[in-house]
């Protein structure tokens, strides 16, 4: 029997890091068994559906390069299937219709299958879909562990067997508390906005694999993976990610996040206005002399030589950086000199002081 797994988020917007872990784990499991991953959207609960929520999830999955083979299958379109299953449980006598019209499982603490308005509960919909979509393994967060017994009872009530269920530990905040907005890095969109490259986030989730126990979000590890991911990017890719031209790539190399890379690119494209210290004239005059005599574009070694020369005569490199970018810190000075054509470098070094 070929392996079929599903990733079943509610459409509440960008994926929680723990949910993204579930998605990656399902993809990895499917790949390891030459199986199929179905994307199911659990949108029966209108109060948990957010406008644009499904699109945000699809964007996150594409960003993380988690492909799915079937779906999205939306629960909102499958009401009749759930009603039919509830009727089956009713007919076989394992469920009963209550005075309020709802259909409940007899025995197991009266678990509701179908609400009085005819809508299916998460428990019923999830089980019916896992059976109907011929899911062989359910991989999900351990917060769903308490549902297993109920779902097994429902599966038997509607005439099936629940797939094998494997729970993984949750991703908690660095402080060990439930990871939430308060932590600032709780969703994929927050990580993306903070400038973590997709490859770094994916590598982190791959590393976590299927944690048996809860884990704490390891931001230092994520930051190291971001540096690795930026180092692994080609010039074109890095420049595109930072919204800069490919000539600026060397300047972006030292950035630790894509947000920082974009800030560096901004300094190359348009320096900040700046007030230069009065004693910077000597350094800048010497720079103008050296730069004017050199080529339109400096090679990396030429740029480093120029910086060394300025340093040797006691030049104030911080003043030069300020003049060229308007910022006191930023990309490596020599890389900046490579990125700036001669006329631009001279114009910045001779800004009114």
Task: State the residues that interact with ligand GLU by CB under 6 A.
Answer: 8-10, 42, 126, 140, 144
Q: Nearest approach, Cβ of 151 to ligand GLU (angstroms)? A: 8
Instruction: Give 9 or 331: the residue with its C-beta nearer to ligand GLU.
Output: 9
Q: Nearest approach, Cβ of 172 to ligand GLU (angstroms)? A: 16
Instruction: Give 166 or 327: the residue with its C-beta nearer to ligand GLU.
Output: 166
Distance CA 289, CA 220 (A): 44
Instruction: Give 36 or 126: the residue with its C-beta nearer to ligand GLU.
Output: 126
Query: Is the backbone of residue 229 left (phi > 0), alpha (psi -120 to 50) or beta?
Result: alpha
Q: Nearest approach, Cβ of 23 to ligand GLU (angstroms)? A: 10
Instruction: Give 210 or 294: the residue with its C-beta nearer to ligand GLU.
Output: 210
Nearest alpha carbon to residue 344 among 241, 238, 245: 245
Strand 103-105 and strand 95-97: the pairing is: antiparallel
Instruction: Give 145 or 311: the residue with its C-beta nearer to ligand GLU.
Output: 145
Q: Nearest approach, Cβ of 147 to ligand GLU (angstroms)? A: 7
Instruction: Give 135 or 268: the residue with its C-beta nearer to ligand GLU.
Output: 135
Distance CA 211, CA 29 (A): 14
Q: Nearest approach, Cβ of 42 to ligand GLU (angstroms)? A: 3
Helices (H) and strands (E) in the chain, counts: 16, 10
DSSP 94: S
Which tokens go with 18?
């723990």
**Residue whose token pair is 């297993």:** 148
Query: How is the beta sheet containing 36-41 ordered, strand by strand?
Result: 4-7, 36-41, 70-74
Instruction: Give 144 or 318: the residue with its C-beta nearer to ligand GLU.
Output: 144
CA within 13 Å, CB half, 281:
4
Q: Nearest approach, Cβ of 295 to ligand GLU (angstroms)? A: 59
Q: Nearest approach, Cβ of 270 to ligand GLU (angstroms)? A: 44
Concatenated DSSP letters of 280-297 = GHHHHHHHHHHHHHS-SS
Q: Nearest approach, Cβ of 336 to ligand GLU (angstroms)? A: 47
Instruction: Give 112 or 283: the residue with its C-beta nearer to ligand GLU.
Output: 112
Please identify the residue of the shown chain whose CB is closest to the bound ligand GLU. 42
Distance CA 66, CA 5 (A): 13
Q: Is the previous residue joined to 35 through a cis bond, with omega within 30 degrees of 0? A: no
CA within 13 Å, CB half, 251:
29
For 296-327, the three-class secondary structure string (H helix, E strand, C coil) is: CCCCHHHHHHHHHHHHHCCCCHHHHHHHHHCC
């Amino acid at each position: 029997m070929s392996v079929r797994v599903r990733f079943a988020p509610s459409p509440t917007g960008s994926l929680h890091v723990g949910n993204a872990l579930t998605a990656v784990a399902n993809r990895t499991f499917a790949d390891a068994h030459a199986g199929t991953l179905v994307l199911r959207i659990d949108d029966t609960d209108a109060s948990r559906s957010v406008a644009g929520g499904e699109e945000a999830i699809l964007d996150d999955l594409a960003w993380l390069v988690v492909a799915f083979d079937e779906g999205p299958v939306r629960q909102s379109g499958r009401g009749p299937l759930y009603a039919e299953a509830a009727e089956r449980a009713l007919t076989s006598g394992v469920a009963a219709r209550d005075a309020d019209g709802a259909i409940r499982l007899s025995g197991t603490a009266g678990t509701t299958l179908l609400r009085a308005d005819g809508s299916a509960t998460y428990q019923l919909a999830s089980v019916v879909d896992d059976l109907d979509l011929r899911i062989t393994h359910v991989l999900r967060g351990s917060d769903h562990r308490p549902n297993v017994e109920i779902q097994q009872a429902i599966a038997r009530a509607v005439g099936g067997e629940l797939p094998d269920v494997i729970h993984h530990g949750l991703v908690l905040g660095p402080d060990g508390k439930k990871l939430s907005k308060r932590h600032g890095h709780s969703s994929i969109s927050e990580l993306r906005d903070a400038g973590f490259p997709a490859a770094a986030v994916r590598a982190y989730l791959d590393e976590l694999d299927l944690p048996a126990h809860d884990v704490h979000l390891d931001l230092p590890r994520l930051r190291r993976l971001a540096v690795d991911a930026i180092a692994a990017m080609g010039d074109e890719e890095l420049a595109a990610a930072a919204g800069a031209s490919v000539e600026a790539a060397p300047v972006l190399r030292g950035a630790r996040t894509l947000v920082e890379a974009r800030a560096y690119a901004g300094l190359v494209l348009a320096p900040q206005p700046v007030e230069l210290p009065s004693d910077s004239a000597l350094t800048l005059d010497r720079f103008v002399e050296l730069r004017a005599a050199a080529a339109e574009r400096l090679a990396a070694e030429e740029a480093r030589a120029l910086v060394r020369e300025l340093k040797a005569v006691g030049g104030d490199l911080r003043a030069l950086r300020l003049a060229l970018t308007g910022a006191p810190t930023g990309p490596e000075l020599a890389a900046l000199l490579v990125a700036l054509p001669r006329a631009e470098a001279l114009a910045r070094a001779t800004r009114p002081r």
